[in-house]
Amino acid sequence: MNADVARESNAGEQTRQKILDAAEALIIEHGFAETSLRAIAEKADVNLAATHYHFGSKQGLLAAVFHRRLEPVKEARLAALTRLEQNNEHLKVADILRAFFVPFYDADDSDLMDILPGLISRIYAEPPAISRPMLQEEFSEVISRFVAALGKACPGIPPNEMNWRFHFMIGSMLQLARFQIPIGQTSEAGSLKEGLDRLVAFTAAGIEQGDSR
Amino acid sequence: MNADVARESNAGEQTRQKILDAAEALIIEHGFAETSLRAIAEKADVNLAATHYHFGSKQGLLAAVFHRRLEPVKEARLAALTRLEQNNEHLKVADILRAFFVPFYDADDSDLMDILPGLISRIYAEPPAISRPMLQEEFSEVISRFVAALGKACPGIPPNEMNWRFHFMIGSMLQLARFQIPIGQTSEAGSLKEGLDRLVAFTAAGIEQGDSR
DNA sequence: GTCTATATTGGGATAGAC
DNA sequence: GTCTATCCCAATATAGAC
């Protein structure tokens, strides 16, 4: 993984990556509107003009930052679900949810594990005019496949209702992403892994609710 | 309600309110960082300098905007829970959750109903350095009282675990606040009221999960 | 308490040399 | 493809008259 970065030996591509890395870190920490191109260029140790050369505008940089991370998550989620469907006749809700969460919280690359939740929760924090199209673009396929799988696992729940439950599930997921531990709780040894288990249990209960199996 | 606004007849207080109203609307629509004092002054039809006179700085205005709305919500939530506890021996989880949600989604004043969800989801969207202290300040008492009530309603669940479930519940609530309908869903006649019922059902299932009653 | 006018900063974007 | 220098604008904030 990440061989694409190492392989690029020309200076231009390296600069591009440095800018993306710096922008990503600053956006996670401060949000998009609060992050200036100047701050990004300084942290990346490149010239300010390079940001415009590579990405055209601040908006273009935003899109690139997000797309670089979201694309692999999308693929991993779809692949995990496909694997699940091939190996089992009847899927359990908790397994489907895990296939959805794991590429997000628990990437193979442990650096990514620190990055993804913070980054995605930022997208959702953007004004709907910005976040809606981006989420639609990056996630509509994933959402429809997972909602369908959940519907199949819970035959009693109509599709429209399952859409809503999926919606609430996303909210819980984001809450874990934003604040790793509950507000007002003193720091706890338990890792993100423990939060993930709790998230699966909580959302599975909400999704299965009222279904007769 | 809102007699405090009408009573203030001196011009200063009227200006203050106009600024707060305008700022609130713009923050809900665009977010805090994206809203300029100029835009606020223009919408409020007051002079730019008046914003500084009344609130000192942009940050000060932010705090005032939020506090004006959060204080009544806090009081309403605590009062609703107290009323519930006085009239029943054993509370149902769904009723406790309703006492928490209703002052938020379903205020008496129907204008407020449009304002509160959008505003509160904005607070959570702010960088943690800003949102954490504000949420702690405004909500810690409410959280501890509601978590305690939920714990009493579900004797099988340890307090630490209930903290987590409460945390996830907040996430679902915010998701409904941010996007009134699920992403990718075509507009639906159902009002916010319908979403509220679904929210109660979803979160109650997650909170009661594993409890033996 | 409200206004006009202005100081000052910071940020996005671009031109043009190398 | 990268740099320096600069343009231009928008924004926060303040000074001082009324």
* Domains of chain A with CATH codes: 1-56 (1.10.10.60), 62-208 (1.10.357.10)
CB contact under 8 A, B184 and A125: no
**pLDDT at residue B6 in the model:** 42
**Residue A190 token pair:** 């338990």
Fill in the amino acid letter for B62: L
Rounded Cα distance, A93 and A151, in Å: 9
As given in the structure block, the two tokens for residue A58 are 């601040």
- The answer to whether residue A11 scores a pLDDT higher than 90 is no
- Which nucleotide, over all strands, has the C1' atom closest to the CA of A13? D1
DSSP per position, B48-59: HHHHHHHHSSHH
Mean pLDDT by 10 residues, chain B (213 residues): 46 89 95 94 96 95 93 94 96 98 80 85 81 83 96 95 96 88 67 88 97 67
- Token digits of residue B209: 């999960």
- Whether residue A202 and residue B165 make contact (CB cut-off 8 A), yes or no, is yes
**pLDDT of A5 over the 60 cut:** no
Percent of chain A that is helix, strand, coil (3-state, to 5): 75, 0, 25
Return the structure tokens found at A64: 């690139």
Cβ contact (<8 Å) for A168 and B176? yes
- Per-residue pLDDT tens digits for A35-78: 999 999 999 999 999 999 999 999 999 999 999 999 999 999 99
Burial category of A30 from C-beta neighbours within 10 Å (exposed 0-12, middle 13-18, buried 19 and up): middle
pTM over cut 0.85? yes
pLDDT in tens, A12-35: 788 999 999 999 999 999 999 999
Tell me if chain B has a CB within 8 Å of the CB of A157. no
Chain A positions in Cβ-Cβ contact with residue B185 (cut-off 8 Å): 160, 163
Question: Could A136 and B184 be called an inter-chain contact, meaning their C-beta atoms sit closer than 8 Å?
Answer: yes
Residue B188's pLDDT is what? 64
* Encoded amino acid at A149, one letter: A
Q: In angstroms, what CA-CA distances link B99 with B66, B143, B164?
A: 21, 12, 19
The C-alpha atoms of residue B124 and residue A24 are separated, in whole angstroms, by 20
Q: How far apart are CA A103 and CA B148, in angstroms?
A: 34
Distance, CA of B160 to CA of A173 (rounded, Å): 19
pLDDT given at position A106: 72
Confidence at residue A193, expressed as pLDDT on a 0 to 100 scale: 80
Task: Measure the CA angle with vertex A27, ends A24 and A32; round to 5°.
Answer: 130
B163 touches chain A (CB under 8 A): yes
pLDDT band at residue A2 using 50, 70 and 90 as cut-offs: very low
At which residue do the structure tokens 């509107």 appear?
A33
Report which secondary-structure segment, H or E, holds B33.
none
At residue A188 the predicted structure's pLDDT band, cuts being 50, 70 and 90, is low
Measured between CB atoms, which of B168, B182, B208 is closest to A164? B182
* Cα angle B13-B15-B17, degrees, rounded to a multiple of 5: 70
Q: Give Dmax (Cα) for chain A.
A: 61
Strand C reaches within 7 A of the B53 CB: yes
**pLDDT value of position A112:** 81
Where on strand D do bases come within 7 A of a protein Cβ? 1-6, 10-16
Burial class (CB in 10 A: 0-12, 13-18, 19+), B59: exposed
B170 in contact with chain A, both atoms CB, cutoff 8 A? yes
A187 pLDDT band, cuts 50/70/90, is low
Do the Cβ atoms of B103 and B73 come closer than 8 Å?
A: yes
pLDDT at position A8, please? 45
Closest C-alpha among A160, A113, A42, A203 to residue B202: A203
What is the reported pLDDT for B114?
79
In this prediction, residues A175-181 reach a mean pLDDT of: 82
